[in-house]
Amino acid sequence: MTDSNKSATLTVHGKTYELPVHSPTVGPDVIDIRKLYSEADVFTYDPGFTSTASCDSTITYIDGEKGELLHRGYPIDQLAEKSHFLEVCYLLLYGELPAAKELEKFETTITRHTMLHEQMQYFYRGFRRDAHPMAIMVGVVGAMSAFYHDSTDVSDPHQREVASHRLIAKMPTIAAWAYKYHTGQPFVYPRNDLDYASNFLRMCFSVPAEEYEVNPILSRAMDRIFTLHADHEQNASTSTVRLASSSGANPFACIAAGIACLWGPAHGGANQACLEMLEEIGTVDRIPEFIARAKDKADPFRLMGFGHRVYKNFDPRAKVMKQSADEVLDLLGIEDNPKLQVAKALEKQALEDPYFSEKKLFPNVDFYSGIILEAMGFPTSMFTPIFALSRTVGWVSQWKEMIADPQNKIGRPRQLYLGETSRDYVDIEKR
């Protein structure tokens, strides 16, 4: 945060107050209202916090109008094309791209933390087989504090570091085991000779009856999905992690809270909703009907996976994800998958339609990631768990930044109270 001599004047009930204005390195100025309540006895009103900066941060910057997403200053499209997920993890955690030896050490640390405590298998078996994988992940991640007591003291920098590494390393195993448990197949243990994405794919799709070879195109596509979802500034789940951690809760509980928030269909379920829409359309010949419905303001139907709440131009992650989607579909084909046939035809027709280009309703990252995951063989119930796996490093980075911030204090949003004023209790026989 860069302080300046700027200030804003606010008049309340005829009295004027000078409020400091802080200038960021990039983005809009921020009016500091921290003393407004104590000095003027008023709150600000901002449902959804869409105009409120809840913290200062150096991790991620988004400009929705320009279609820009930066991690520590690096554009997301460059990172997705030239880097890989664990290097981006290092960048988010520590602020700079690693040197070769730093990256090697970090990758080794993450690789050697991928196994889960053996007793956690019994925790999985307490769930019903038809439990949603996200329900399992919320429970298992929250329960990690019962198994890893040596990394729950948030006041200890070393324990914070260990907890960070454990969460990033173990999340693929946790998600893969949730998938295996859901399908009734035996758990597959991680292997230290595989990279992060390949390890995850193997733990999801290999079985003891035969050897599983990870295709490098699928591994690269999976790595890009992880990279493109690694962090997205102060969204709902990240804000949930920060709010939970402001109380001093252990890191595993805080990340479990983030997973629970991500589960909401308005947040992490977008690519699942996209696939469900493709299933509703059903066949290529019905696409014009649904495009017409999307244009009809009186029709509640919307094309899922097109446009974005934050990006008012184009989603900067979509270009790279489209490239991966094309590579995966070329490898696996779409001939036997009606949903993928509809997806490719819908993409083509929507991009050629002036209505969508004029309104800047371009396919976003959720559209392409849903296509990739469907082609790989993941059920839609696993889409959000994979999102949670990807976003863990962003949550952890934001959590670490917040804990180390000397301005950190417990979150306490205010309210506009519209209920009854004070009234006396009435005995039950007189009501």
pLDDT tens for residues 63-74? 988 889 999 999
Question: Hunting for tokens 């379920």 — which residue is that?
Answer: 269
Q: What's the pLDDT band for 318 if we cut at 50, 70, 90?
A: confident
- Does the pLDDT at position 2 exceed 70? no
pLDDT in tens, 337-383: 888 889 889 988 988 889 988 888 888 888 888 889 999 999 999 99
- Does the pLDDT at position 1 exceed 60? no
The verdict on whether 267 is a catalytic residue reads no
Question: 276, exposed or middle or buried, with CB in 10 Å at 0-12, 13-18, 19+?
Answer: middle
Question: Which two structure tokens, joined as six digits, stand for 5?
Answer: 């001599």
- Nearest by Cα to 9 from 27, 37, 30, 31: 31
Q: What is the mean pLDDT of residues 153-179?
A: 97
The verdict on whether 232 is a catalytic residue reads no
Q: What's the pLDDT band for 35 if we cut at 50, 70, 90?
A: very high
- Does the pLDDT at position 41 exceed 90? yes
Q: What's the pLDDT band for 4 if we cut at 50, 70, 90?
A: low
State the average pLDDT for the chain: 92
Q: What is the mean pLDDT of residues 142-160?
A: 95
Q: What is the pLDDT of residue 272?
A: 82
Say which residue, 234 or 273, is predicted with more confidence. Answer: 234
Catalytic pick from 84, 165, 229, 308?
Answer: 308
- Does the pLDDT at position 397 exceed 70? yes
Q: What is the mean pLDDT of residues 282-308?
A: 90
Residue 268 and residue 370: Cα distance in Å, rounded?
12
pLDDT in tens, 197-246: 999 999 999 999 998 999 999 999 999 999 999 999 999 999 999 999 99
Chain CA centroid to CA 121, Å: 26
Question: Which two structure tokens, joined as six digits, stand for 41?
Answer: 């006895």
Q: What is the pLDDT of residue 239?
A: 96
Q: What is the mean pLDDT of residues 403-417?
A: 92
Domains of the chain as residue ranges with CATH: 7-53 (2.20.28.60), 88-264+385-404 (1.10.580.10), 269-376 (1.10.230.10)
> Per this entry, what is the length of the chain?
431
- Nearest by Cα to 70 from 105, 23, 24: 24
% of the chain with per-residue pLDDT over 70: 99
Q: What is the mean pLDDT of residues 77-103?
A: 97
Catalytic pick from 130, 366, 424, 427?
Answer: 366
Q: What is the pLDDT of residue 3?
A: 54
Instruction: Indicate yes or no: pTM above 0.85.
Output: yes
% of the chain with per-residue pLDDT over 90: 76
Residue 197 and residue 84: Cα distance in Å, rounded?
10
